[in-house]
Amino acid sequence: MDYQAVLEEVAAFARPYVGHGQVADYIPALEKVPTDRFGIAVADINGEVYGVGDWEVPFSVQSISKTFSLALVMANDNEDIWKRVGREPSGTPFNSLVQLEWENGVPRNPFINAGALVVTDRLQTLTGDASTTMLHFLREESGNPDLAFDQAVADSEAEHGDRNAALAHFMASFGNLENPVPSVIEHYFWQCSIEMSCRDLAAAGGFLARHGLRADGSRLLEAREAKRINAVMLTCGTYDAAGEFAYRVGLPAKSGVGGGIVAVVPGRCTLCVWSPGLDSRGNSVAGAAALDHFTSLTGWSVF
């Protein structure tokens, strides 16, 4: 596969979509990001990374971090997390309180905000410092020791984080949090604030394409666990547009309102695309178009 040539053709196809959509203006620190940015990178299973456009420009990973927190919890705790969070699509916005009322404080999946808070809570119990544990892991897997939290983004989320605090308090009232609510939401905001480029994220997600093997060849997850994370990404990773995304792209993926999307081709490669303009469900408009074209060009999907 001539990845560079494919990515250049994908970028050309996606160019008319760049600038469409809206930035996540409910997080003031993200409101300032120009919508005319676009980058895409692919990391093969041997760790070689290729990219075009703004593929080395850092951006806020936001909900993409949820994939890595889930992987770290499963690596340390097997599959016990599924006793506290489900694996079904939500069909409601990612920050909705509605289903928690009906389902006794158990979130539908780990990629909506409520589910991610439960996963962060468990990672905090297991490690004593959930956000720093994730940052160190991402530095190692990406090969970039300079990855860091973005203080402005973390502060911005904390100042406008009433809905996430409400979700956490509501689940705590059902006994589904182990740590104090302020600690859980603080670590959650720090995780979301990490800045990474398409290059960094494509490389860091490589263990999902390598069936659980880390960049150094050691095993993070059993193959069945990596398979299951990919499955939940496919069905739940792009908010309440997961069905449409699976129909168009056909790959496990996790998006974030910073405009990034990480997608996995098991056994072949991991991709990351970034463009800040979001559709009404919080997914990058140009990013989804680019991944759609990538799978059409290559014929690579899980279907």
Active site residues: 63, 66, 188, 239, 257
CA distance 149 to 152: 9
CA distance 204 to 68: 9
Q: Does residue 105 contact residue 170 with C-beta atoms inside 8 Å?
A: yes
Tell which residue, 169, 43, 29, has the closest CA to residue 100: 169
Chain Cα centroid distance, residue 37: 19
Residue 160, CA atoms < 13 Å, CB-side half-sphere: 13
Tell which residue, 211, 264, 214, has the closest CA to residue 237: 264
Residues sharing a CB contact under 8 Å with residue 97, sequence separation 6 or more, in sequence order: 114, 163, 166, 167, 170
Residues sharing a CB contact under 8 Å with residue 143, sequence separation 6 or more, in sequence order: 47, 203, 215
Q: What sign does the dihedral 295-298-300-303 (CA atoms) show?
A: positive
